[in-house]
Structures are given as C-alpha cells and as structure tokens.
Amino acid sequence: MARLTKVQLADGRIVGLSPTQVRAVRAIRKAGTYYAYDGISRATVAALERHGLVTVKWSVLTWTARRTYRNRSMCDWVARPVRGA
C-alpha cells in the first residue's frame, strides 16, 4: 500500500494524499490549467476535487458509431488549482 502524505488544507482540515495525487497537484499548480489526456487519470482528478484542491469542469461527448449504431461516450475535463488551497 502506498504511503500517504498528510497535507493541511486552507480550511484547517488534514487529508492524506497518495504520491500520485501529490504529483498531480504539483503538475496542475505548475501548468495553471490541466486538460484530460495530459497524463492524470479521472480518478485522481476526482479525488483532488473532493478534497477541494482543484476545480474541475466535466463534460461528456456522446456520438453514434456509423456502422454499428452504438452510442459511444468520451469524458473530458479541465482542472484548475484552487487559490489558497
């Protein structure tokens, strides 16, 4: 099991973040705006959003495949760091 890093948030809460989540927060803060498919998983971004470290705008694109007539979906997101967190 990964060792959790304890982080104190701006509102005083203490949360445990995995090493992957710590790297993701640093990358988002460095970039300012981070897009889907740039190397951070949806699960990691969702966990950071639950903790209040980033704000995420989610969108879902759905289309119908031409030959099979099946619906296909793709989840997009844009993450930005929260000021003061």
Which element (helix H / strand E) includes 8? strand 5-8
Of 73, 25, 74, the C-alpha closest to 48 is 25
Angle at 41 between CA 20 and CA 30, to 5 degrees: 60
Q: What is the pLDDT of residues 32-78, one digit of tens each?
A: 999 988 889 999 999 999 999 999 999 999 999 999 999 999 889 99
Q: Is 40 helix (H, G, I), strand (E, B) or coil?
A: coil
* Number of domains the chain is built from: 1
Q: Which residue type does 31 have?
A: A
Is the per-residue pLDDT at 83 higher than 90? no
Q: Is the pTM of this model over 0.95?
A: no
pLDDT attached to residue 25: 92
Domain that holds residue 66: 5-81
